[in-house]
Structure formats: C-alpha cells, structure tokens
Structure 1
C-alpha cells in the first residue's frame, strides 16, 4: 500500500493528489493507494481518499504503508521516519499557490543534504520513476535498517552479547 499525506495546511495541494490519482488511473501504480487530501480541491477517484484522518488512522496508515509520500512539512515526514519508512517528500511550492513561500523546498533540500534520510521529488513528473525505483533508492538512505542509529545499536548489541558470552 502507498500512503500519501498532504498535511493540514489550508492551501490545496492538488498537484500531488492529481498526479498520484492519474498514476493509478493509468495503471502505473497497481497497489492500493490511500490519500489524506486535506484542503485539496481535486477529487481523487482512483484512490481511497480522506480529507482528514484521525491520529489513530494516520498511525495505522503509516505503519501499513510500503511507501509513504508526503509534503515537505517536517512533522509528516518525521512521523514516517519514526515508523522506519524512507518517505518520498514532495514539497509544496509557492508558484503553484500551495504555500505562502518556498520554505518546504528549502527545508527538504537541507534535510536531504544533512540527513540523507528522505527521497525528495521536486518535479511531480518524476514521481512515478521514484516510486518504481523506490526499493533501490531507499537502500542508500540513512533511515530504517540502514540508519546510523540502527547500525550503532546493532554493533553495540553485538559487543554486549560478546561480553556476556565471556
């Protein structure tokens, strides 16, 4: 399942919602897609769409998703990271009236450079290619099983186990 969330910002994010719906309609995405559409005005008809979701529903969708696609709001992609997912992040853009400025673009670029734990998509026309190659792309990211924290924890666990055996 692919879970898409656009957050609760009051400006629509039709560009992302429509692109995902089109990819499903064209048969490019064959798995189930659940979209939290927020204030978007585009009506997704090929996906399971919800304007808003409860906290529990969001948590379950994040847990169940194979891929999480989110806007560039930090709390949305941080939540995906907390569930061990490497989120595809499509930042909202001022030029499309999706936000008041391009801070999501700037923040996404910063996180990509410093943390390397998200997959940014700045052009929605590249979204399908990213979804198609998700497994390969996510292997090179610092999240989930490959995160520095998880690697450190596994190494520490091995050290402790070796000490306990002696």
Structure 2
C-alpha cells in the first residue's frame, strides 16, 4: 500500500493528488493507494481518500504503507522516519498556489542533503519513476535518524574510560 499525505495546510495540493490518481489510473501504481487530501479540491477517482484522518489512523496508515509520500512539511515526513520509513517528499510550490512561498522546496532539499533520509521529488513528472525504483533508491540510503543521545553517550563513555585508565 502507498500512503500519501498533503498535511493540513489550508491551500490545495491538487498537483500531487491528481498525479497520484493518474499513476494509479494508468497502472504505474498497481498497489492500493490511500490519500489524505487536506484542502485539495480534486477528488481522486482511482484511490481511497479522505480530506483528513484522525491521528491514530494516520499512524496506522504510515505503519502499514510500503511507501509514504508527503508534502514538504516536517511533521509529515518526520512521522514516517520515526517508524523506519524513507518517505518520498514532494514539496509544495508557490508557483502552483500550494503555499505562501517555496520554503518547503528549500527545507526538504536541505534535509535530504544533510541527513540523506528522505527522497525529494521536486518535479512531479519524476514521481512515477521514483516509485518504480523506490526499493533500489532506499537500499542506497543511510539507515535513518541518528540519535544524538546515543552519540553523546558513546563520547562520554570514552572520556570516562580515559579518565580512569580503561582502554
């Protein structure tokens, strides 16, 4: 199953919702698709959808999904990362009246570059190819979120061992 979320921002994200529906219609996507459409006005014809889901259902959809596709809002792509998923992030763009500016483009690209844990698709036409090669793309990515606590504990342990003379 593929789960798509456009978040709860008050502007439409018809571009993503329509494109996913088209990929399902032409059978580029063969598995089931569930879309949270938010304030989009386009109603999918080939996918299960709801404007909004309760939080518990969002969690379940993300956990059950083979692939999660989100907009560029951090809350939407951090949630799948927390359960070990590598989300495909399609940032909202100002030119399509999907947001007030292009901060989602800039932010998602910066996260992808710095962390390497999300797949950013800026050009919607590349989404089908990204989905077809998803498993291969994910296999070449870092393992996930790094814990700063774990890193701190490792460094602290080395310091303590040096202080008491243990190597």
TM-score past 0.5 threshold: yes
In structure 2, what is the equivalent of residue 24 of structure 1? 24
Cα separation, 1, equivalents of 2:143 and 2:103:
23
TM-score under structure 1 normalisation?
0.87
Runs of 4 or more above 3 Å deviation: none
In structure 2, what is the equivalent of residue 57 of structure 1? 57
Cα separation, 2, equivalents of 1:28 and 1:4:
15
- Please say if 1:70 is aligned against 2:53: no
In structure 2, what is the equivalent of residue 46 of structure 1? 46
TM-score under structure 2 normalisation?
0.86
In structure 2, what is the equivalent of residue 131 of structure 1? 131
Cα separation, 1, equivalents of 2:49 and 2:120:
23
Question: Which consecutive unaligned segments of at least 5 residues does structure 2 have?
Answer: 155-167
- Please say if 1:83 is aligned against 2:86: no
In structure 2, what is the equivalent of residue 140 of structure 1? 140
In structure 2, what is the equivalent of residue 117 of structure 1? 117
Shift of 1:143: 3.6
Cα separation, 2, equivalents of 1:143 and 1:18:
31
Contact 1:68 1:85 in 2 (8 A): yes
Can you list the C-alpha shifts for 1:63-117, whole angstroms capped at 9, x where unaligned?
A: 0000000000000000010110000000000000000000000001100110000
Contact 1:85 1:143 in 2 (8 A): no
Question: Which consecutive unaligned segments of at least 5 residues does structure 1 have?
Answer: 157-166
Can you list the C-alpha shifts for 1:109-135, whole angstroms capped at 9, x where unaligned?
A: 100110000000000100000000000
State the structure with more CA Rg: 2
